[in-house]
A and B are shown apart, each in its own frame.
Chain A
Amino acid sequence: MAFQLIDTGGSRSFPERHPLLTAAAERGEVVVVVIIGARAAEAFRSVGSRERYAAILIELGTECLGTHTGEARGEEGSNVLGFARFRLGTAPPSDLVELVHQPRTPETAISAARKLFEDHGLKVALCGDFPGRIIDRLVRPYYNAALRRLDEGLASADDLDTTLKLGLGYPEGPIQLLERTGLAEHFDITQALYAACGDPAYAPARRARVAKQRQKT
Chain B
Amino acid sequence: MTAIKTVGVAGSGTMGAGIAIVAARAGFKTIVYDTRPEALARARKQTEGFFAKSVERKKLTQEQVDRILADLTATTEAAGLAACDIVIEAVFEDLKVKHGLLEALNRVCPPHTIFASNTSTLSITEIAAGSGREDRFVGTHFCLPAQLMKLVEMSPGLKTSDETFQTAWDFCKAMGQVPVKTKDNPGFILNYFLIPFNNDAIRLVEAGVAAPADIDRAIKTALGYPMGPLELLDLVGLDTHLLVAEALYAATHEPRAAVPALVRRMIAAGRLGRKTGGGFYTYSGNAMFGG
Contact, CB under 8 Å: B189 / A160: yes
Contact, CB under 8 Å: A155 / B214: no
Contact count band on A = 35 or more
A170 to B142 Cα, complex, angstroms: 17
A125 to B228 Cα, complex, angstroms: 13
Contact, CB under 8 Å: B182 / A134: no
Contact, CB under 8 Å: B183 / A141: no
Q: Let me know if B215 is at the binding interface, CB within 8 A.
A: yes
Q: Let me know if A53 is at the binding interface, CB within 8 A.
A: no
Q: Let me know if A1 is at the binding interface, CB within 8 A.
A: no
Contact, CB under 8 Å: A134 / B215: yes
Contact, CB under 8 Å: A94 / B221: yes
Q: Let me know if B85 is at the binding interface, CB within 8 A.
A: no
A96 to B222 Cα, complex, angstroms: 6
Of the listed residues A88, A141, A154, A174, the one surrounded by the most CB atoms of chain B closer than 10 A to its CB is: A154
Query: Please, what's the 1-or-0 string for B160-183, where 1 marks a CB less than 8 Å from any CB in chain A?
Result: 000000000000000000101111
Contact, CB under 8 Å: B190 / A164: yes
Contact, CB under 8 Å: B218 / A135: yes
Contact, CB under 8 Å: B256 / A123: no
Shortest CB distance B147–A (Å): 15
Of the listed residues B183, B201, B207, B221, the one surrounded by the most CB atoms of chain A closer than 10 A to its CB is: B221
A141 to B198 Cα, complex, angstroms: 12
Which listed segment binds A: B32-40, B49-57, B148-156? B148-156
A187 to B5 Cα, complex, angstroms: 50
Contact, CB under 8 Å: A134 / B223: no
Q: Let me know if A168 is at the binding interface, CB within 8 A.
A: yes
Chain B residues in 8 Å Cβ range of A141: 196-197, 200, 256
Chain A residues in 8 Å Cβ range of B250: none
Which of B189, B196, B223 is within 8 Å of A163, CB to CB?
B189
Considering the complex, give the chain B residue whose CB is closest to the CB of A85.
Answer: B222
Query: Please, what's the 1-or-0 string for B193-236, where 1 marks a CB less than 8 Å from any CB in chain A?
Result: 11011001100100111110011011101111111010000000
Query: Given known contacts A126-B211, A142-B197, A155-B181, is B221 in contact with A95 (CB within 8 Å)?
Result: yes
Contact, CB under 8 Å: B219 / A138: yes
Contact, CB under 8 Å: B192 / A125: no
Q: Which residues of A contact B (CB under 8 A)?
A: 86, 88, 94-96, 98, 123, 125-128, 130, 133-135, 137-139, 141-142, 145-146, 149, 153-156, 159-160, 162-164, 166-172, 174, 201
